[in-house]
Amino acid sequence: MRSLRLAAYALPALLALTLAACGGDGDDEKITVYSGREEEYVGPLFDRFEEETGIELDVRYGETAELAATLIEEGENSPADLFFAQDAGALGALEKEGLFAPIPEDSLSRVEPRYRSPEGVWVGTSGRARVVGYNTEELSESDLPDSILDFTDPEWKGRIGWAPTNGSFQAFVTAMRLTEGEEATEEWLRGIAGNDPVVFDDNEAIRDAIASGEIDVGFLNHYYIAEAIAEEGPDYPVRAYHPQGDVGSLINVAGIGILESAGNAAGAEEFTAFALNDESQRYFADVVKEYPLVDGIPADPEVTPLAQIQQPDVELGELDDLQGTLELLQRSGAL
> Cβ of residue 155: shortest distance to other proteins, in angstroms?
21
The number of angstroms, rounded, from the C-alpha of 224 to the middle of its chain's C-alpha atoms is: 12
Helix (H) or strand (E) holding 108: helix 105-108
Q: Are 116 and 227 in contact (CB under 8 A)?
A: no
60 and 34 in contact (C-beta within 8 Å)?
yes
Cβ proximity to other proteins, 97 vs 112, nearer residue: 97
Which of 31/309 has CB closer to other proteins? Answer: 31
What minimum distance in Å lies between the beta carbon of 116 and other proteins? 20
Strand partners, 221: 130
Write down the least CB distance from residue 286 to other proteins, Å.
17
Is-contact 230 289, C-beta < 8 A? Answer: yes
Of 113 and 213, nearer to other proteins (C-beta) is 213
Q: To the nearest whole angstrom, how small is the minimum distance from the Cβ of residue 102 to other proteins?
A: 22
Minimum Å gap between C-beta 84 and other proteins is 14
Using CB atoms within 10 Å of the CB of residue 220, give its burial: 0 to 12 exposed, 13 to 18 middle, 19+ buried.
buried
CB-wise, 46 or 134, nearer to other proteins? 46
For 280, other C-beta atoms within 10 Å of its C-beta total: 22
33: exposed, middle or buried (Cβ count in 10 Å: 0-12, 13-18, 19+): buried
Closest CA to 192 of 43, 71, 332: 332
Q: Which is nearer to other proteins, 65 or 265 (CB)?
A: 65
The CB-of-178 to other proteins minimum distance in angstroms stands at 16
Burial (Cβ within 10 Å: 0-12, 13-18, ≥19) of residue 310: exposed
Residue closer to other proteins (CB basis): 288 or 299: 288
Nearer to other proteins, 110 or 130 (CB): 130
CB of 269 to other proteins, least distance (A): 20
Applying CB under 8 A, the residues found at the interface with other proteins are: 1, 4-5, 7-8, 10-11, 14-15, 18-19, 22-23, 32, 38-41, 58-63, 65-70, 72-75, 77-79, 90, 93, 165, 167, 170, 199, 201-205, 209, 212, 214, 224, 320, 322-323, 325-326, 330, 335
- Cα separation, 248 vs 241, in Å, equals 9
